Chain A
Amino acid sequence: MASTTLTRKDFASDQEVRWCPGCGDYAILASMQRLAPSLGIAKEKFVFISGIGCSSRFPYYMNTYGFHTIHGRAMTIATGLKCTRPDLSVWVITGDGDGLSIGGNHFIHTLRRNLDINILLFNNRIYGLTKGQYSPTSEQGKKTKSTPMGSIDYPVNALSLALASEATFIARSIDVYSNHLQEVIRQAAAHRGVSFVEIYQNCNIFNDGAFSAFSERDVRNERLLELEDGRPMLFGKEKREGIRIQGGKPEVIKVGQAGVREQDVLVHDAATANMTIPFLLSRMDYPDFPVPIGVFRRVERPTYDELLQGQINTVKKQKGAGDIVKLLKGSQTWEVH
């Protein structure tokens, strides 16, 4: 089946979509189904692997190979699959609870290994499927069913954690910003190595409007910072506001005011080996700063799957294909007559 002839419809399964009406997941699914035919990957080579949670129903709705696994463990199954089947395009669909709480350990280790898979983490800052408890990305003080006096947990920052975990591709986008989301996912798919994409996703039932302060169409220009590799970090309607680092801290500057020139604005370098600026970017949040979206980091490093296969090939080259008889004999034998 030639992938070029495929359309969005080919990637829609016959399963009835069961997310709540108005859920941000619909938008993400639509973006993925729209994008998939243009990625140059044969349909049968796609595998979507998920854990547990609202986001993890995703594979049922893609007309590809899929595996809806257990809570927090999708990355482990993806690891075994990609190690043995490097020919497949492996996608992990996870959420803030699945990927950062119960699956937090696998998150760290899958990212540092740089397995050539794509991880889409739908972050809605709430537990949806268990009906509204706070999640590891919920803001401190959040009142939920399990925290009537407000959550005392301090939230984890997914992008900071991804950086600390040595991920080679780190990006963020927003469910309702379809064009941007598709572009980010396209770049994630193209990256050789682990690609981590945090997608801000609205849960209209339990955490409605968590991101609306900066994700709504009419405020995006002012409140989002769209990172573009090699371009100055400018935002605002006229692109006259920018980010610079002063005294080791980011600050918002206005081009043309108080002698600030466009050259003073920090230029985004996604490929830098230096973690400092990507880390500072990962900490920027509304309302003190515009929320950065786009590709934060994209560096090259050998992938785990190719290193694994490389060692196997090296041994095969040195020793030839294994001789079972030799294996069984070991180093010392004796004959009984």
Chain B
Amino acid sequence: MAELLQKQRKTKSKPRRGNGSKNSRSIQELDSVTVRFAGDSGDGMQLAGSQFTQTAAIIGNDVATLPDFPAEIRAPAGSLPGVSAFQVHFSDHDIHTAGDCADVLVAMNPAALKMHIGDLEGDGILIVNTDGFSENNLRKAGCSTNPLEDGSLESYRCFEVPVTKLTHEALQDLSLTKKEKDRCKNFFALGLTLWMFDRTLDSTLRWIDQKFTAMPEMAEANRRALKAGYFFGDTTEAFASIHYRVAEATLPKGLYRQVTGNQAMAMGLAVGAHLAKKQLFYASYPITPASDILHEMARYKNYNVATFQAEDEIAAIGAAIGASFGGHLGVTASSGPGIALKTEAINLAVMVELPVVIIDVQRGGPSTGLPTKTEQGDLLQAIHGRNSESPVAVLAPATPGECFEYAITALRLAVKYMTPVFLLSDGSLANGAEPWRIPSFDDLPKFDCHHLVDAKDFQPYRRDKTTLARPWVLPGTPGLEHTIGGLEKEDVTGAVSYDPRNHEAMCRLRAQKIAGMVQDIPDVALFGANSGKVLVVGWGSTYGAITTAVEKQQAAGKSVSSMHLRYLNPLPANTGSLLKNFEKVLVPELNLGQLRSILRDQYLVDAVGLNKVRGQPLTVAEVTQAIEGLL
């Protein structure tokens, strides 16, 4: 049975909403659908996907997205490496992932079809742009026969649409070039898809108006293409069988918007600075997939944010440390390769005990690896990847929206404990979007930054008794002149010291300070019963797949719980005791077993891994299979 048909709960015949469509046809109700738009990287698939998502979100569906684009800005048109895709999962209930497989695939050319057909449900809906299937494109995609003619697509519900031709017809009398008209075909595809799911065009029309204010003719062309696609669905008999509706989800009350992880991160940093009544200095060097945070921050100049695009990764963290030395909130962000370059400077911040937040938006590695693909390969790099004994705090948000909350937490902890704090995001959190309930500013906890000004008995390394933090003294403060640096410090005085016992004492003190942060870290909560057969432990962006899989097991009455760690160093105080309440511990990760190593090491627990490093998110099916293997 097809997944899509299983989801069909009832078929109704009733007057339809929408842009004046005829009301005689029936609309089938579904509880959730996954649509994937795939085309050439110049085809505007990311735009079509994100507009579709915005409309779904505004209607009230829960949504989760997975953009998947090539590392090349414009790989040769029509080629396999040039394929860009955007997947959106939307539903009438709470969902946690962008979906394992697609129910609907929109393929603009043979390369897109070839790359993504494997992820289409057995009898899913396939919409192809027949105009993209030229001999040339077939050759570029390495197709010896035309898949539209060789019978290979028979199991799917395939709809062949001459998207390019129809777009051109709709734009006939506009004085745009052929190339410009070609570019509007994504709006045709979007319009058709919006019709399929009985959506209105309002949100996209508004967006076109805003975006193309300066180019009225392009605005008109895109509006027409969008409407042409919509009406094509409405008037073409064949499409009557694929007209669906997904009702709104019951999300917690409140005001919502859509956010990606990178947007949420940027907002969290700005809000954190506001809560601390501090200026934030964001220094970074452009790198995928972290650059969007810099782009966002650069727009926040009236929010006490200064941005600095440095000459390299090292300069970026150097400048962040310099800003923190001066009493501002120094933040830098990068991805794995850039973090590798920053390591020596992170150690300087460990030694001089200054607050700095380091964001690592992880991607596939090692080396340049898979720049645009997701991975969780940098956990051990963040915790251990520096010379000598170099403890830092490591936090990892689990959803795009959580990036906001943990950006604030990272700033708060960095300042309170005078330490570098790592924030681990990844490609799928960074670019993935979800509806986000806008928090009330008054509910966000303020935090104080103290700067010592009293010269009496001043010692640069005299520590606070509870946090073990040293004082944050601002240059410019009379009477407290002193020099800090990377050489080992004498306890209390901060003078350079080569004394063997002092060095050991200081190494232990620095470790103790980070370990002691556990007093500020909430206990980890379990999803499910507090003991049982299988505990699934995860961190970061695998939250959605793990939670969905565990939900299904629990619904089937299985003894399965999950624990999702947002604090990786130090780990929450109750982690060890909870692990011991379960017969089996499963640790799914997008790496070869990094958290598993830590859990085994710290708690002597015989954890089993589910490990995947393909540049793609974990799927619910993969987690389900691994759990079932342990039951």
A contacts, CB < 8 Å to B: 1, 13, 15, 42-45, 47-49, 52, 59-60, 62-71, 73, 75-85, 87-88, 105-106, 108-109, 308, 311-312, 315-316, 319-322, 324-325, 327-337
Contact = CB atoms under 8 A, between A and B. Distances in A.
A56 B345 CA distance: 16
B303 A324 contact: yes
A308 B306 contact: yes
Nearest to A335: B255
A327 B318 contact: no
A333 B438 contact: yes
B315 A336 contact: no
Interface in B42-64: 54, 57-58, 60
Interface of B: 54, 57-58, 60, 203, 210, 251-259, 263, 267, 270-271, 274, 279, 281, 283, 300-304, 306, 308, 310-312, 314-328, 330, 344-345, 347-348, 352, 437-439, 441, 475-487, 495-496
Given A85-B476, A88-B475, A106-B315, A335 B256 contact: yes
B256 A333 contact: yes
A85 B274 contact: no
B271 A327 contact: yes
Contacts of A42: 478
A84 B480 CA distance: 20
Contact of A70 (B300, B320, B348): B348
Contacts of B210: 331
A81 B325 contact: yes
B484 A80 contact: no
Given A65-B482, A68-B487, A311 B322 contact: no
B326 A84 contact: yes
Contacts of B480: 44
B319 A334 contact: no
Given A81-B326, A327-B270, A334-B57, A66 B441 contact: no
A27 B254 CA distance: 68
B256 to A, nearest CB: 5
A62 B483 CA distance: 9
A238 B314 CA distance: 51
A70 B480 CA distance: 23
Given A322-B304, A334-B256, 17 more contacts: A45-B475, A59-B485, A65-B482, A67-B325, A67-B485, A73-B315, A75-B318, A76-B318, A77-B319, A80-B308, A84-B322, A88-B475, A321-B302, A322-B270, A328-B271, A336-B60, A336-B251
A88 B483 contact: no
Contacts of A109: 310-311, 315
Contact of A332 (B258, B317, B327): B258
Contacts of A43: 478, 481
A83 B306 CA distance: 9
A197 B304 CA distance: 34
A98 B283 CA distance: 22
Contacts of B481: 43-44, 63-65
Contact of B255 (A87, A327, A329): A329
A327 B280 CA distance: 16
A4 B38 CA distance: 71
9 contacts: A44-B475, A44-B477, A47-B475, A64-B481, A77-B318, A83-B281, A84-B279, A322-B300, A322-B302
Given A79-B322, A334-B256, A335-B256, A105 B58 contact: no
A319 B258 CA distance: 24
Contacts of A83: 281, 306, 308, 319, 322-323
Given A83-B281, A312-B301, A327-B267, A77 B314 contact: no
B486 A68 contact: yes
A66 B322 CA distance: 11
A66 B484 contact: yes
A333 B257 contact: yes
Contacts of A77: 318-319, 321-322, 325
Contacts, number: 210
Nearest to B60: A336
A43 B475 CA distance: 10
B308 A79 contact: yes
A105 B318 CA distance: 13
A65 B352 CA distance: 14
B479 A44 contact: yes
Nearest to B54: A332
Nearest to A47: B475
B345 A73 contact: yes
Nearest to B329: A84
Contact of B345 (A1, A64, A70): A70
Contact of A315 (B259, B301, B320): B301
Contacts of B252: 336
A52 B259 CA distance: 44
B253 A336 contact: yes
- Identify which of A78, A84, A106, A331 gathers the most chain B CB atoms within 10 Å of its CB: A84
Contact of B483 (A59, A71, A75, A311): A59
Nearest to A13: B483
Contacts of A315: 301-302
A68 B485 CA distance: 4
A82 B301 CA distance: 17
B255 A76 contact: no
Contacts of A328: 257, 267, 271, 438-439, 441
B286 to A, nearest CB: 14
Contacts of A45: 475-476
A68 B283 CA distance: 21
Nearest to A80: B322
B483 A80 contact: no
Nearest to A78: B322
A99 to B, nearest CB: 14
A202 B267 CA distance: 52
Contacts of B479: 1, 44
Contacts of A324: 270-271, 274, 303, 441
Contacts of A335: 254-256
B203 A332 contact: yes
Given A83-B281, A322-B270, A324-B271, A69 B485 contact: yes
Nearest to A109: B311
Nearest to A77: B322
Contacts of A327: 267, 270-271, 300, 303
